[in-house]
Amino acid sequence: MKQIWLIIGVACVLISSIGRMANSLTDVLIAVGAIALVALVIWLFETGRLRINERLSKVLKKIGVFILVAVGIAYLVAMVSFVTYKVATEGDLQGIMFLVIATVAFGISWYISRWRRRWVKILKTFMPKDKICHGDWKMREKYFQTFDYSTNALYGLRTADGIFDGQARVWLDPSVVDKDASARLDSFEEMLARRGIKANCAMDHIPGCIYADIIAETKYRSMKGSSMTAFRDAFHELDGMNYQGDYYAEYHGELGTIYFEGNAGNVIIRAIRTEPREEYYIDNDCGFQSEEAHYFIERGVDWTEGKYSLISAKEFFALWRERLEYDDKDDAYSFFEQASLMYFAAVANGDKKVQTNSQWDIENAAKYLIAHDAIDEMIELMAIYEQSMYWASRLFVDVIPEFAHDTANRLVEYSDNPVIVSRTKRLIAQWKKGGKR
């Protein structure tokens, strides 16, 4: 959009020229109206108020841009040629002043836009060309910045210093966080050196923190096109080194005391709030009734707010299984449902630990529902997700056998999930033999 408005600006400059060439005020008004109409149509399209077929819009935009640019260039060339001729033949001082002013104006505009041109050159390395013009620069901007989602890195250009920098958050092995942080910085410096990039690298890491921020700064003028691609590739390689498993920690701060299980996506999977009130949470949004606890989950882990420390998985799950309680039947229902989804996701990923922990959550919620004679909730669990249908038919067969058998048969007949189908078939076979579930 920025580039189009610049072209419109050029068109507006032509209005004065039209006025000089036109024979009447009416001609000038017609020209101004035509330009205003074009500007209005473009503005309506860019803001989404006017919808045009995407392919047609690209064609029309190219035609419009070509007309404006072609007319502008033709006019400027004609004017410069005419003025030059007048200066050469008649020594016209007005013409000389025009050429000087035009040259100075062009030079200033070219100089002001130099960082914008360089920034666009950088952006072409990180994003599609058609997305570059949307709010990525300002005439007097001192710092250009963009986030590259494919490498999870933030890139910036400091115009005053001519510095190009990249910054990425790395997730560390919880068993050796401080040692891994130091090793990760050394590895990144080696990645850059291997690619022939000279950069000053630094790390911002709080001792014991599960993550660290790595920053690399280099002189922009040393960054050619291939160097920028290599710089990005180094961050891509760095992103591939991130710790991918879960970790466990405790938090003490304004929100109270919270023990939680998280991952490198900054997503909290399970959490226990012990102070100032007891609350429990399991992904996705099951549990935690207070606003403070919801804020903690939505914000994600921020080691700068409050006191954090890593704990072991054994310590966390011992606390989880000792303290976990349900407010009511609906709470147990939600935990059962979510844990069922987590269990089969872990089966697909081959994660045995998550399967074990999720199965405990499912069975614990089932015990609560059975103890509180929650027949309606049991039946409903047999009618939503295939994952919860399997576990509900398996765990509630002694309570509502007809529903359990019917649910299992429906899974075998209609489910597209081969894992669920095979397990359900084994379950039915065990029922027929009178064996254990």
Q: Are residues 265 and 211 in the same domain?
A: no
User: Final residue of a domain: which of 302, 322, 342?
Assistant: 322
The torsion angles phi and psi of 63, rounded to 5 degrees, stand at -65, -45
3-state helix, strand, coil split of the chain in percent (to 5) is 60, 15, 25
Residue 122 lies in a domain: no
Residue 245 lies in a domain: no
* DSSP 8-state assignment for residue 436: -
pLDDT at 172: 92
Tell me the percentage of the chain whose pLDDT exceeds 70: 75
Residue 397 lies in a domain: yes
The span from the CA of 313 to the CA of 369, in Å, is 27
Q: Are residues 27 and 52 in the same domain?
A: yes
- Position 53, amino acid: N
User: Final residue of a domain: which of 112, 135, 158?
Assistant: 112
The CA-based angle 154-262-179, given to 5 degrees, is: 70
Mean pLDDT of the chain: 79
pTM for the structure as a whole:
0.64
Residue 24 lies in a domain: yes
Range of the domain at 302: 252-322
Residue with tokens 């033999």: 433
Residue 123 lies in a domain: no
Residue 118 lies in a domain: no
Residue 303 predicted with pLDDT over 60? yes
pLDDT 10s digits, 148-202: 877 788 888 777 777 888 899 999 999 899 999 999 999 999 999 998 888 899 9
Q: Are residues 416 and 330 in the same domain?
A: yes
Q: How confident is the model at residue 369 (pLDDT cuts 50, 70, 90)?
A: very high
260, 264, 322, 327, 339 from 293: Cα distances, Å: 11, 20, 20, 16, 20
pLDDT 10s digits, 201-228: 999 999 999 999 999 998 877 777 677 7
User: Of 85-94, 128-137, 335-344, which has the strongest mean pLDDT?
Assistant: 335-344
Q: Are residues 278 and 340 in the same domain?
A: no
Number of domains in the chain: 4
CATH code, domain with 336: 1.25.40
Q: Are residues 421 and 333 in the same domain?
A: yes
Q: Are residues 357 and 419 in the same domain?
A: yes
Residue with tokens 């189908």: 421
Q: Considering only CA atoms, give the Rg of the chain.
A: 33
- Is the Cβ–Cβ distance between 306 and 251 less than 8 Å? yes
Q: Are residues 13 and 101 in the same domain?
A: yes
- Is the Cβ–Cβ distance between 220 and 228 less than 8 Å? no
Residue 134 lies in a domain: no
Residue 132 lies in a domain: no
Residue with tokens 């027929």: 432
Q: Are residues 330 and 302 in the same domain?
A: no
- Which tokens in the block code for residue 305? 């707010």
Task: To the nearest 10°, report the CA torsion of 143, 149, 152, 157.
Answer: -20
Q: Are residues 318 and 330 in the same domain?
A: no
- Is the Cβ–Cβ distance between 167 and 214 less than 8 Å? yes
The torsion angles phi and psi of 374, rounded to 5 degrees, stand at -85, 65
User: Final residue of a domain: which of 207, 239, 271?
Assistant: 239
* DSSP 8-state assignment for residue 334: H
- Position 44, amino acid: L
Among the listed ranges 11-20, 131-140, 384-393, 410-419, which one has the minimum average pLDDT value?
Answer: 131-140
- Is the Cβ–Cβ distance between 276 and 255 less than 8 Å? no
* DSSP 8-state assignment for residue 133: T
Higher-confidence residue of 116 and 356: namely 356
* DSSP 8-state assignment for residue 176: G
